[in-house]
Structure 1
Amino acid sequence: MITTFQQHILHQQREVPYASGDFSWLLSGLTLAAKMIEAKIRCAGLCNIVGTAGQTNIQGETQQKLDVFANEALLHCLGVRDCVAALVSEENDEPVTFDRPPGEGKYVIVFDPLDGSSNIDVNVNVGTIFSIYRRKEDERSSGLDSVLQPGNCQVAAGYVLYGPSTMLVYTAGRGVYGFTLDPTIGAFVLSHDRMQMPERGKYYSCNEANAAQFPEHYRSYLEDLRISKAGQEYSSRYIGSLVADFHRTLLKGGVFLYPPTAGHPEGKLRLLYEANPLALIAEQAGGLAINGDEAILNLQPRGIHQRTPLVVGGRSEVERFLDLIREPQLARAEVESL
């Protein structure tokens, strides 16, 4: 017997008192948009959908044609759901809001419509990342307080990876589940039940071309991994598509790092719609996610496009990173106490 994504959500809702069905209706919009994006990606080389769209987004990044399509698909499929109060996208300067009473517009959704889209032209994996928050009851739909909530307030989070197969990975705080799109029936089918990130892996992932700009403790950590001081031999793997690099880390363990650099001292990944959802998935799967010294999920966002460094992976690797930060601090404390 197969279990589709919708069947899984309905089963989960039975265990939640007073569930109204709005959440499953909301998620059906996400899966519909994902299928539309997947279909367009699958024929990207056969139609005029690759390359740049000739404009930039709020980040100053060149928009790809598929960025625009993916964003419009998500805005449409989610915007027609009455339970949605606001949508926040990487591609839009401001939240897209809907004038719905708090009793109807219950949810705020933030998303990166097509992470890694510059890789489309060379047929490399890309993905959609999403995060769902409950709207604050005392806020109007345009209130930023409902949008700027820390990651530990997420109702659910997930991503869709478009690759050799299309896979949806999601959590609603009760474990992590993976669903693979079966093109013969047009449905996401449960393929990875209660996913767990290995406590220790054998891969580390970061853009080492920028290592000279990394803070010293990041460089020390990479050296620690390379020469196996951590008691484990590591190999380097870096795709350059956040969803794909994270997905490998989720399945195989290890660690993914996106440190701050001289050019991006605040980090480059966006807190709300990249770091937060992946951090929730990592922690639900037994891993850890930090911004260098503090849990990602504890950070209070200051803006919808706020950036952050990210270290995410198996518990052993992330704790080793924290140990390397603490060791100099402990040494200085000992010297000062003499």
Structure 2
Amino acid sequence: MTDADPAADGGVAPGGTDPAVEAIFDAVAATAPEIRAALPGRRVESGTDNPSGESVMAGDLYADELLGDAITAVDGVGSFVSEERETAVDAGGAVGEADGEPPYAVAIDPLDGSSNLRSNNAMGTVVGVYDAPLPATGRDLVAAGYVLYGPITTMVVADDAGVREEVVEADADGSVSRTVVEDDLRLPDDPLVYGFGGRVPDWPDDFTAYAREIEDELKLRYGGAMVGDVNQVLTYGGIFAYPALNSAPDGKLRLSFEANPIAYIIERAGGAATDGEVDILDVEPEGVHDRVPLYVGNEALIERLQAALD
């Protein structure tokens, strides 16, 4: 069990991670119980749209505000970029600059799957820690993770050391603890589940043909929140996709906030990720709110997908 307050001793964080990176995930974990506790009163539309033109729930704005305050207060964070904000927030982090290294840029989806608020289904928070100014490729990620607000609040964190799963809890004294429950999370070799987003009539023919094959082999697990659906794949093995659509050939998910961090996690767990042509982590962005098709999961399933889309 580790306290979710950022460590002040400058020691080596779990997995050998840079203490500044671990402090970012401490900050994310510290906000999780507060975000969760506030959701019942924020299940309504906020009356505003995000930079991608989507209607924003009150819960989105609240989570964004809490996470923005917590993450920009971490030493070593130079900028904070959110799906809910048009431009980056200058956090002024200076750690590492004396050695010629830039501070970290943190990109978040504050409340992935917030449309599930009304139906009381799973949702989460997605985090990417980049060592380059955004927009950047996924190769500039040094760590990524997500919080899942399911029956239990968990956080999955990936870095160079691998992927670990933690339980996040608010303790009686008001502190927040992170308890590692799996220190080497890997995709199972025998996949069991799949989840495909978008309206079926809007799927391109080549993806539809692939989906028909997968439906005969795996069990459907799709809940309308990428974090929850990807967590199913990470737990049981399989494939998640939000494909290119006939009406949206560039896909729906945002590269910086969603696709890159999830691809990083899945690849560190032994899987693969693609936009249908190249590894997601190699996609060159033009802007911080760029969209991209996303396909992640067991390597053999992704290889079959790419062959089907050729």
Match of 1:299 in 2: 283
Match of 1:70 in 2: 63
Tell me, what secondary structure is at the counterpart of 2:97? Answer: coil
Matches within 5 A, 1:126-145: 126-135=123-132
Deviations 1:12-53 (A, max 9, x none): 46847xx5x333333322222223212223xx1xxx322111
Q: 2:211 aligns with which of 222, 226, 239?
A: 222
State the number of aligned residues: 301
Name the aligned partner's letter for residue 108 of structure 1: A
Q: 1:201 aligns with which of 188, 191, 202?
A: 191
Q: 1:103 aligns with which of 80, 91, 97?
A: 97
Distance across 1 between alignment mates of 2:15 and 2:113:
36
Tell me, what secondary structure is at the counterpart of 1:122? Answer: coil
Name the aligned partner's letter for residue 114 of structure 2: S
Matches within 5 A, 1:256-295: 256-295=240-279
Distance across 2 between alignment mates of 1:197 and 1:180:
19
Tell me, what secondary structure is at the counterpart of 1:256? Answer: strand
Match of 2:139 in 1: 152
Deviations 1:84-140 (A, max 9, x none): 1111100001111134557287111000000011111211011000000124xxxxx
Q: TM-score, normalised by structure 1?
A: 0.82
**Shift in alpha-carbon separation, 1:10–1:284, aligned structure 2, 3 A:** farther
Distance across 2 between alignment mates of 1:82 and 1:325:
44
Match of 1:38 in 2: 36
Question: Is the 8 Å Cα contact of residues 289 and 318 (structure 1) preserved in structure 2?
Answer: yes
Distance across 2 between alignment mates of 1:244 and 1:115:
9
Question: Is the 8 Å Cα contact of residues 197 and 243 (structure 2) preserved in structure 1?
Answer: no
**Shift in alpha-carbon separation, 1:33–1:214, aligned structure 2, 3 A:** same
Match of 2:21 in 1: 23
Match of 1:182 in 2: 169
Question: Is the 8 Å Cα contact of residues 13 and 22 (structure 2) preserved in structure 1?
Answer: no
Name the aligned partner's letter for residue 148 of structure 2: L
Question: Is the 8 Å Cα contact of residues 199 and 316 (structure 1) preserved in structure 2?
Answer: no
Q: 1:242 aligns with which of 226, 241, 245?
A: 226
* Runs of 5+ unmatched residues, structure 2: none
Distance across 1 between alignment mates of 2:15 and 2:187:
27
Tell me, what secondary structure is at the counterpart of 2:247? Answer: coil
Distance across 2 between alignment mates of 1:82 and 1:257:
36
Distance across 2 between alignment mates of 1:5 and 1:170:
14
Larger radius of gyration: 1
Distance across 2 between alignment mates of 1:56 and 1:325:
33
Q: 1:253 aligns with which of 234, 237, 241?
A: 237
* Runs of 5+ unmatched residues, structure 1: 136-145, 228-232, 327-338
Q: Shift in Å at residue 181 of structure 1?
A: 1.8
Q: TM-score, normalised by structure 2?
A: 0.89
Name the aligned partner's letter for residue 168 of structure 2: L
**Shift in alpha-carbon separation, 1:52–1:234, aligned structure 2, 3 A:** same
**Shift in alpha-carbon separation, 1:14–1:120, aligned structure 2, 3 A:** closer
Name the aligned partner's letter for residue 33 of structure 1: T
Matches within 5 A, 1:3-22: 11-12=12-13, 15=16, 21-22=19-20
Distance across 1 between alignment mates of 2:252 and 2:156:
23
**Shift in alpha-carbon separation, 1:189–1:7, aligned structure 2, 3 A:** farther
1:53 lines up with 2:53 in the alignment: no
1:122 lines up with 2:122 in the alignment: no
